[in-house]
């Protein structure tokens, strides 16, 4: 089936936006519920882990080790999936989003009976996979869970827009700004959900993921032009 470039770009952008919101949503959970750990922001994990290690808080540092290990495994698995299913086009995202939804459903159902380290490894794995797989907003390369690179690139494009009058830089700047805003809104929504009832959080994450999966199934990118 032939897929137009425009349809592919629009559909992948919507998926990246949903997943970016989800990453912020999950980071709020790991930070507020799981001892100030980050699922996606590994710089924060390395800083917190090192500070705890060198201050003698060895056991507290382990939570960061688990999520970092999960993230690394997820990033590796994401590269493997992209390489293996590159001929599948947009359809490959359905496989990942289905797996993501099932994983979040499992965590939501068994959260109270699952060790924290298992939850952290699973969410780190998910974040590594997501950050490797969903990278484009309107053809701008973004990082949907780590805002340091996005902010640095945004300011680079801002400079080019102001001093070089680069119209393309303006478009990339808007896309990066939107990515950062969506992530912040995800963190905010995750925080409000936890304040309402922390037991709802992983269920809400599951429903967000299911929405992304539904979009991947019904997306115009999979319809005939």
Q: CA–CA separation, 38 vs 26, rounded Å?
A: 8
Instruction: Indicate the domain borders of the chain.
Output: 5-222
8-state DSSP, 139? T
Q: CA–CA separation, 69 vs 46, rounded Å?
A: 12
8-state DSSP, 35? T
Rounded to two decimals, the pTM is 0.92
Lowest-confidence pick of 48-57, 146-155, 216-225? 216-225
Per-residue confidence (pLDDT) for residue 190, from 0 to 100:
98
Per-residue confidence (pLDDT) for residue 189, from 0 to 100:
98
Torsion 151-152-154-159 (CA) sign: positive
Q: Is residue 60's pLDDT more than 50?
A: yes
Higher per-residue pLDDT: 219 or 120: 120
Q: Is residue 28's pLDDT more than 90?
A: yes
Q: CA–CA separation, 155 vs 170, rounded Å?
A: 11
Q: CA–CA separation, 54 vs 50, rounded Å?
A: 6
Per-residue confidence (pLDDT) for residue 225, from 0 to 100:
44
Q: CA–CA separation, 154 vs 25, rounded Å?
A: 22
Per DSSP, helices labelled H in the chain are: 5-32, 42-54, 58-84, 92-110, 116-133, 147-163, 167-197, 201-218
Q: CB of 146 within 8 A of CB of 40?
A: yes
């Amino acid at each position: 089936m032939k897929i137009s470039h425009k349809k592919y770009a629009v559909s992948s952008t919507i998926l990246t936006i949903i997943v970016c919101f989800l990453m912020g949503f999950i980071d709020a959970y790991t930070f507020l519920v799981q001892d100030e750990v980050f699922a996606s922001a590994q710089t924060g994990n390395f800083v917190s882990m090192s500070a705890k290690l060198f201050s003698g808080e060895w056991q507290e540092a382990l939570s960061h080790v688990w999520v970092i290990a999960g993230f690394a495994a997820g990033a590796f698995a994401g590269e493997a999936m992209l390489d293996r299913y590159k001929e599948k086009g947009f359809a490959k995202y359905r496989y990942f989003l289905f797996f993501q939804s099932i994983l979040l459903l499992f965590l939501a159902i068994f959260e109270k009976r699952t060790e924290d380290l298992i939850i952290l490894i699973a969410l780190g794995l998910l974040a590594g996979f997501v950050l490797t797989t969903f990278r484009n907003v309107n053809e701008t390369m973004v990082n949907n869970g780590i805002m340091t690179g996005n902010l640095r690139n945004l300011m680079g494009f801002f400079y080019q827009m102001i001093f070089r009058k680069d119209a393309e830089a303006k478009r990339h700047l808007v896309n990066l700004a939107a990515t950062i805003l969506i992530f912040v809104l995800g963190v905010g929504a995750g925080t409000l959900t936890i304040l309402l009832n922390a037991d709802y959080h992983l269920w809400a994450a599951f429903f967000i993921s299911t929405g992304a999966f539904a979009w991947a199934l019904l997306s115009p990118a999979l319809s005939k032009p």
